[in-house]
Amino acid sequence: MTQKILVLPGDGIGPEITAQASRILAACQARGLDIEVEEGLLGGAAYEVHGEPLPAETLEKAKAARGILLGAVGGPQWDKIEDLSKRPEKGLLGVRKQLGLFANLRPAITYPQLASASSLKPELVAGLDIMIVRELTGGIYFGQPRGIEERNGERVGFNTYVYSESEIERIGRVAFEMAHKRGKKLCSVDKANVLEVTILWREVMERLAPEYPDVELSHLYVDNAAMQLVRAPKQFDVVVTGNMFGDILSDAAAMLTGSIGMLPSASLNESGQGMYEPCHGSAPDIAGQGIANPLATILSVAMMLRYSLDEPALASRIEAAVGTVLDGGLRTADIALEGTRSVSTAEMGDAVLAAFEAQ
Ligand code: NAD
Ligand code: IPM
Ligand code: MN
């Protein structure tokens, strides 16, 4: 059956990087992958045309798609929109929530060729392979009540950090399953020394543990976890945490791999439908220059093939092509070694495509 794929280029470097990833998707199609690809508007790009970041048309297309490939949304030109519900980021959060994409997988893998591009010592990161499992449709991002209001003559801002047992349990199961298939270690990250919501989080993780006897469960407070991640990152296999902690820890983990331009992600719901995007944002500081690293987005296509399209062989082929290109010494500016020439976004795309075709 033909599967529908929706590409949402978004804002800033989004269109530049999705253009390269779309070429890889087309190459898969040419090799028999039965997909139908269409494009849509999300974020600031959608706001400019429709006055809202998630137009009904985009949401409909997203619901009908098996896989969504997203570039990134947001940019300084939209940061002053007073109505928060119209900001580009709300478009992204809307797709996640409306499609129930609660399980966000963020793999931090250090390609051996890039160990020296990391800001940590190469021996600390060489061979690193961590999977961060971030809860994506709950927690403080979505909790009610929220707002900014007048109280006692001044404005106060407030948000609510809330998780139900069932929300914790379903992300816990994803993480335990993942650990079971990988290195059998699961570290749950919380702030159970201060926040009730994460006392419950820890309790539920403990309750699930006996169902996965081969997985060793440990717990860290988030401040310590952040420190451990840069002190000795290879101690981790799978990390499970809530929405905001996962957002922060995954950006930190990105630097272990050499660049935030290397970190792909998958956001899945219970039926395996997924949105795939680099972990980074729209990088307004380099947008339009053709120098962004497209590899996180290209690797996100590989994750789409693996998690939503059941094509692990094609996924591995893309990952191998990225390895080949890095072996050849090709680098965009963010991962370039001192004194080496860096290539453009499109040149990197050309090279990955050529390596993919050559296999
Ligand atoms: P950012 O991730 O966009 O950029 C942080 C730094 O990393 C910048 O210096 C940027 O140039 C660099 N960078 C990011 N991606 C890169 C790539 N592929 N190649 C080379 N360098 C890269 O984070 P920010 O500056 O905090 O946010 C910018 C905008 O993006 C904001 O509007 C924010 O809300 C949005 N954002 C969107 C997403 C998303 O769509 N998923 C994620 C994060 C941030
Ligand atoms: C990410 C981003 C988003 C998040 C923003 C843009 C809403 O930082 O995908 O990591 O916080 O989830
Ligand atoms: Mn983020």
pLDDT tens per residue, range 205-214: 999 999 999 9
Q: Does position 15 have pLDDT exceeding 80, yes or no?
A: yes
* Tens-digit pLDDT profile for residues 144-170: 999 999 999 999 999 999 999 999 999
Location of each CATH 3.40.718.10 domain in the chain: 1-102+269-359, 104-267
Q: What are phi and psi of 4, to 5 degrees?
A: -90, 135
For residue 55, give both structure tokens. 């137009």
User: What's the pLDDT band for 43 if we cut at 50, 70, 90?
Assistant: very high
- pLDDT for 186 equals 99
Q: Does position 93 have pLDDT exceeding 80, yes or no?
A: yes
User: What's the pLDDT band for 339 if we cut at 50, 70, 90?
Assistant: confident
Q: What are phi and psi of 332, to 5 degrees?
A: -80, 170
For residue 33, give both structure tokens. 């992958």
Angstrom distance (rounded) from CA 309 to CA 4? 10
Q: Which of 235, 222, 253, 204 is nearest to 105 (CA)?
A: 253
* DSSP for residue 244: H
Burial 144-159 (b: 16+ CB within 10 A, else e): eeeeeeeeeeeeeeee
Angstrom distance (rounded) from CA 218 to CA 95? 32
Mean pLDDT, to the nearest integer, of 216-241? 98
Q: Whose CA is nearest to atom 34 of ligand 1?
A: 74
Q: How many CB atoms lie within 10 A of CB 67?
A: 26
The sign of the CA dihedral 162, 164, 167, 172 is positive
On average, the pLDDT of the chain sits at 97
- pLDDT for 125 equals 96
For the CA of 277, the nearest atom of ligand 2:
9
Angstrom distance (rounded) from CA 29 to CA 156? 52
Return the CA Rg of the chain: 20
Angstrom distance (rounded) from CA 77 to CA 80? 7
Angstrom distance (rounded) from CA 33 to CA 27? 9
Of 191, 212, 276, 307, catalytic? 191
- pLDDT for 340 equals 77
For residue 60, give both structure tokens. 């409909």
Q: What are phi and psi of 177, to 5 degrees?
A: -60, -45
Q: What percent of the chain has a predicted confidence (pLDDT) above 90?
A: 97
Q: Does position 327 have pLDDT exceeding 80, yes or no?
A: yes
For the CA of 76, the nearest atom of ligand 1:
32
Q: Does position 232 have pLDDT exceeding 90, yes or no?
A: yes
Q: Which of 243, 3, 198, 244 is nearest to 101 (CA)?
A: 243
Q: Whose CA is nearest to atom 32 of ligand 1?
A: 74
Angstrom distance (rounded) from CA 106 to CA 275? 12
Angstrom distance (rounded) from CA 249 to CA 286? 23
Q: Does position 338 have pLDDT exceeding 80, yes or no?
A: no
Strands 266-268 and 274-276: antiparallel
- pLDDT for 147 equals 96
Strand, helix or coil for residue 51: coil
User: What's the pLDDT band for 89 if we cut at 50, 70, 90?
Assistant: very high
Q: Does position 47 have pLDDT exceeding 90, yes or no?
A: yes
Lowest-pLDDT choice from 9-13, 34-38, 55-59, 338-342: 338-342
- pLDDT for 251 equals 95
* Cα 261 from chain centre: 11
Told to judge if 191 belongs to the known catalytic residues of this protein, a careful annotator would answer: yes
Of 141, 212, 276, 307, catalytic? 141
Q: Which of 266, 268, 224 is nearest to 249 (CA)?
A: 224
Angstrom distance (rounded) from CA 233 to CA 74? 30
- Which top CATH class is 104-267? alpha beta
Ligand 1: distance of its center to the CA of 145 in Å? Answer: 28
Alpha-helix runs per DSSP H in the chain: 14-30, 44-50, 56-64, 88-98, 122-125, 165-181, 196-208, 222-231, 243-256, 295-307, 312-327, 345-358
For the CA of 75, the nearest atom of ligand 1:
32
Q: How many CB atoms lie within 10 A of CB 79?
A: 12
Angstrom distance (rounded) from CA 262 to CA 292? 11
Strands 216-221 and 35-39: unpaired
Q: Whose CA is nearest to atom 4 of ligand 2?
A: 247
Write the CATH number of the domain with boundaries 1-102+269-359.
3.40.718.10
Residue from 11, 70, 78, 89 to probe ligand 2 pocket by mutation (most atoms less than 8 Å from CB): 89
Mean pLDDT, to the nearest integer, of 182-196? 98
